Amino acid sequence: MIRTFQTNVIRKTQELSSSLWNFSPCSGENKDKKYKVAVPCCWESLPDFSSYRGAGVFSRKIEAEGNIRLIFKGVSHTARVCLDGNTIAEHYNAYTPFSVVLRNLAGKNHLLEVYADNSFSEKSALHVPNDYMSYGGISRGVVMESLGNAYIESVHAIPVRETNGWNTNVSIKITSLSDEENIYDLKLKINGSEFEFDKIKLNPGESVTVQRYCNPGEVKDWEMEDPALYELEAVLTNQNQAVDDLIERIGYREIKTEGKDILLNGRKLRIKGFCRHEDHPMFACAIPFSAMQQDLLLAKDLGANSIRTSHYPNDELFLDLCDEQGILVWEENHARGLTLEQMEYPNFEQQAETCIEEMIHSHINHPSIIIWGILNECASDTEYGYGCYQRQYNLIHKMDNSRPRSSASCKFKTDICFGLPEIVSYNLYPEWYHDTPAREYINDIYNWVQTESEGSGKPFLITEIGAGAIYGYRTPTLCKWSEEYQAMALEHQIQAVLGHEEISGIYIWQYCDVRISSEWFGSRPRTMNNKGIVDEYRRRKMSYDVVKRLYHSYPNYR
């Protein structure tokens, strides 16, 4: 399953991740073994490969000819795609999609091979040993499309609130696959209205992007309580014959900052969220659709209204579910806890910016995304780091200026980047990594931001806070790692944040326990980050009821 709605009627598509593939490792004692696997698949969920770090190949036969487009929603973390033994595409980063177009493919039966590699190396600046697991495999869906002489590559739509209602800033990219010049007509349907674009002349191999404002007429606001969604159907015709189409979906909502407030459709938000990794002991990061929805059901039962996609862009299926259920999303590029030395690595800036470009290009239409985030806990207290933050914030603004930007900092009174984004965000762990009372510590940081930093006067979020607990470890001593201590610490932390009149919200670290890279921090109990409100199997800890009671006691708006 790729999306929760149909994206094409005219264009023929086939989901290649709906049948079995062959898998073989490329090295190690089991390199001669072959497995039948259901894609999406991370090899850590297979027998003999729970800790395998290296390369593996996924293969299957496909029937295709003519103009073909292969779309990979996620391969972890370095991919090389081959067709009939020839390399046709390469890609870095597990968490963003990529595609390849093959023109005039001859024959019908072909061998498709995807080489995935989750090794840590000098070529990888983002996937490094870290406080989460870099899994290996085809972790998200794969699609094959049959194309004609031209196709609609993307439809991007930004809702614009005007004095007399909503408008839509639409940008559509058309690409030619023909060896000849052709003239095309383009129409777009929104909410029962049809909009015609000027005729489009495409030279051989040329791509053209057209833009216009489209008034959708009377539409409902996308709200948490009633997340109204509208489809945009673009149809490309040549000589009065429809040759291609693409359907996207948006919601009409406005997200902006005003003084110290974050406003959703003009109302002051109170964010009650969780940080969530794509991680499951049965599926690794290849989370199936039903498990995604189960996570959201538990989050909503807990009273949450937002998810932070720590620390990378998420599967688009998950974003579709958030769109449909009114769940607000902070989505961020892929960089967590990088030191100055790591940020100075030659591949860092290019790989981080490419992640931003692919994230926004793929996910810009999702109304649930209200904040673009970057560079979690990186070197924001250095001059070199400042330059990286500035360039990446500028890139986001260039691609999409309709959403505020932020980054989660852990630099205690030393961050020099708070003047760049619209929202100031801090990761704090009072009563866990140190014994300072939560209210005292949070007030101290907040007052410093407002009086001594360039973040003064901006909205303020707590983007990580929490405490660890081993599921089932209960003791009246209230010692750390017990469920009792976690519940007590979270009660103090949540009350301190949500009880503060000028803090816009909280993201608890974290929704569920997750596996970490053993190379990074093997001293964590169970080689897991154990700060989940539920454990890795989604079993409730004592803190579940505490969080549920407190989150439900505060309304969604301030």
Per residue, the 3-state secondary structure of 232-270, as one string, reads EEEEEEECCEEEEEEEEEECECCEEEECCEEEECCEEEC
Q: Furthest-apart CA pair in the chain: how many Å?
A: 79
User: What does the pLDDT average to over 425-430?
Assistant: 97
Strand blocks (E) in 337-476: 369-373, 405-406, 408-409, 424-427, 460-464
The C-alpha atoms of residue 222 and residue 5 are separated, in whole angstroms, by 18
Q: Give me the mean pLDDT over the 176-203 stretch.
A: 97
**Phi/psi at 122 (5° precision):** -65, -15
Length of the chain: 558
Q: State both tokens at 208.
A: 């053209």
The mean per-residue pLDDT over the stretch 15-39 comes to: 91
Averaged over 143-155, what is the pLDDT? 98
> Which residues make beta-bridge pairs with 287?
none
% of residues, the chain, pLDDT over 70: 100
| DSSP letter assigned to residue 17 | G
Q: Minimal CA–CA distance to 388: which of 343, 422, 424?
A: 343
What is the pLDDT at residue 30? Answer: 80
Identify the residue with better confidence: 48 or 387.
387
> What does the buried/exposed string (b/e) look like for 379-390 if buried means 16 or more CB atoms within 10 Å of the residue's CB?
bbbbeebbebbe
pLDDT tens for 77-99 read 999 999 999 999 999 999 999 99
- Locus of tokens 């001859």: 106
Task: For residue range 175-189, list pLDDT tens digits in order.
Answer: 999 999 999 999 999
Report residue 414 as tokens.
């030393």
pLDDT per residue as tens digits for the range 353-385: 999 999 999 999 999 999 999 999 999 999 999
Work out the average pLDDT over 320-332.
98
- pLDDT classification of 107: cutoffs 50, 70, 90: confident
Q: Where does the pLDDT of residue 522 fall: very low under 50, low under 70, confident under 90, or very high at 90 and above?
A: low
Looking at the predicted structure, is the pLDDT value of residue 520 above 80? no
Q: How confident is the model over 390-412, as a mean pLDDT? A: 97
Helices 543-553, 483-498: inter-axial angle, 10-degree rounding = 10
pLDDT band at residue 29 under the 50/70/90 scheme: confident
Rounded to the nearest integer, the mean pLDDT of the chain is 97
- Report, as an integer, the average pLDDT of 128-138: 96
Q: Per-residue pLDDT averaged across 458-462, rounded?
A: 98
**Which pTM value belongs to this model?**
0.97
Place of tokens 């980047």: 417
Average pLDDT of span 452-472: 98
The pLDDT confidence band at residue 33, using thresholds 50, 70 and 90, is confident
Mean pLDDT of 193-211: 97
Which residues lie below 8 Å from residue 461, measured CB to CB, with a gap of 6+? 271, 406, 423, 424, 425, 426, 503, 504, 505, 506, 507
**Per-residue pLDDT at 521 exceeds 80:** no
Q: What integer is the mean pLDDT of 460-489? A: 97
Evaluate if residue 136 carries a pLDDT over 90: yes
Q: Compute the average pLDDT of residues 153-166.
A: 97
Question: Which residue did the predictor score with more confidence, 122 or 497?
Answer: 497
CB-based burial of residue 121 (10 Å sphere; 0-12 exposed, 13-18 middle, 19+ buried)?
Answer: exposed
pLDDT tens readout for residues 334-350: 999 999 999 999 999 99
Q: What confidence score (pLDDT) does residue 31 get?
A: 81
Query: Taking the CA atoms of the chain, what radius of gyration do you get in angstroms?
Result: 24
- Per-residue pLDDT band for 55 (boundaries 50, 70, 90) equals very high
- Chain centroid to CA 401: 18
Mean pLDDT over 438-463 rounds to 97
Domains in the chain, ordered, with CATH?
12-147 (2.60.120.260), 150-250 (2.60.40.10), 255-553 (3.20.20.80)
pLDDT grade, residue 19 (50/70/90)?
A: confident
Please give the angle made by the CA atoms of 71, 24 and 110, to the nearest 5 degrees. Answer: 45
Inform me whether the pLDDT recorded for 241 exceeds 90: yes
